[in-house]
Amino acid sequence: MKVTILGSGTSQGVPIVGCTCRACTSTDPKDKRLRVSLYIETDKTINGKPLRILIDTSPDFRQQMLLNNITDIDAVLYTHYHVDHIMGLDDIRQINQLHKKYVELYANTETANRIRQTFSYIFDENTYKGGGIPLVNLHEVELKPFDVMGQQVIPIEYKHGPTTVYGFRIGDLAYMTDCNFIPEAEFEKLHGLKVLIIDALRYRKHETHFSVDEAIAAAGRINAAKTYFTHMTHDIIHAEASSKLPVNIEFAYDGLMFEV
């Protein structure tokens, strides 16, 4: 699989509007963080092309597609319904128009219901279609492996404060953003990973996210061959913070590409 980090920042992104801290004024491109999202080209094929899976449509979805020269997706997996993870959905329209196809969406029941509520015009048959609306099929998934156009996906359920979030394991890759508690039973799904991408908000403790130290502890428990941290605030200055991590752990950054 080919994997691209489209965004590695928090709900406000980095730089934050009006902030003049060292991270927000940094000239290092790795300190510029759009809202979190992941793009995967699997080894499954559709019409001779790789199956393309996006995790979350962030508010920066359009910009992320342009910056990374991505012109097609087949499916979107949603982790949860918070604004920084769903609000780019309307920009699916260009995929529809360019490739003359629907895009398949997958989410747990709560997230699916919130998407229907937030984007009611997409799912209301009485919506005026003249301006164009996203053409999507929304599938509700449960806490068991499910099929995405020939690719098996294993959902991983955990907590983001009071919110239930789904992470996803696809082959030897697992993606677990917005996390502060992993139930014991879910660790069983994470054995033998080659790559783990997991939440590490900042150094200070937070009510709904792993701190860097907590993420290091979780990564040690999961023991993937390689771990990347994501969803970082402006507390993290990439070059300085990277030198303090264990050898098999790195901070992700926007545009990072690797193969699994």
Q: What tens digit of pLDDT does each residue of 61-96 get?
A: 999 999 999 999 999 999 999 999 999 999 999 999
State the Rg of the chain over Cα.
18
Q: Average pLDDT for residues 141-163, to the nearest whole number?
A: 98
Is residue 40 pLDDT above 90, yes or no? yes
User: What pLDDT digit, counting tens, does each position of 154-192 carry?
Assistant: 999 999 999 999 999 999 999 999 999 999 999 999 999
**Residue 222: which CATH number?**
3.60.15.10
Q: How many Å apart are CA 122 and CA 116, to the nearest integer?
A: 8
3-state class (DSSP) for residue 8: coil
Looking at residue 141, its amino acid is V
Q: Average pLDDT for residues 24-28, to the nearest whole number?
A: 98
In this predicted structure, what is the pLDDT of residue 105? 98
> What sign does the CA torsion over 104, 208, 13, 36 have?
negative
CA-CA-CA-CA dihedral for 7, 9, 10, 11, to nearest 10: -50
In this predicted structure, what is the pLDDT of residue 127? 84
Instruction: Determine the Cα angle at 202 with ends 198 and 207, to 5°.
Output: 85
Q: Average pLDDT for residues 95-104, to the nearest whole number?
A: 96
User: What pLDDT digit, counting tens, does each position of 44-58 carry?
Assistant: 999 899 999 999 999
Number of C-beta neighbours around residue 122 at 10 A: 19
Q: Indicate the range of 89-103, 119-133, 194-208 predicted with least confidence.
A: 119-133
Q: Which two tokens stand for residue 200?
A: 């590490």
Is residue 130 pLDDT above 80, yes or no? no
In this predicted structure, what is the pLDDT of residue 129? 75
In this predicted structure, what is the pLDDT of residue 100? 95
Q: What is the mean pLDDT of the chain?
A: 97
Q: How many Å apart are CA 197 and CA 11, to the nearest integer?
A: 17
Helix spans in the chain (H): 61-67, 83-86, 92-99, 109-118, 120-123, 212-222, 238-242
Q: How many domains in the chain?
A: 1
Is residue 131 pLDDT above 80, yes or no? no
Beta strands (DSSP E) in 47-92 are: 49-55, 75-77
Is residue 128 pLDDT above 90, yes or no? no
Q: How many Å apart are CA 43 and CA 214, to the nearest integer?
A: 33
Number of C-beta neighbours around residue 53 at 10 A: 26
> What residues make up the domain containing 166?
2-259
* Prediction pTM value: 0.97
User: What pLDDT digit, counting tens, does each position of 220-233 carry?
Assistant: 999 999 999 999 99
Burial class (CB in 10 A: 0-12, 13-18, 19+), 73: buried
Q: Indicate the range of 124-128, 234-238, 251-255 predicted with least confidence.
A: 124-128
Q: Residue 250's Cα: distance from chain center in Å?
A: 17
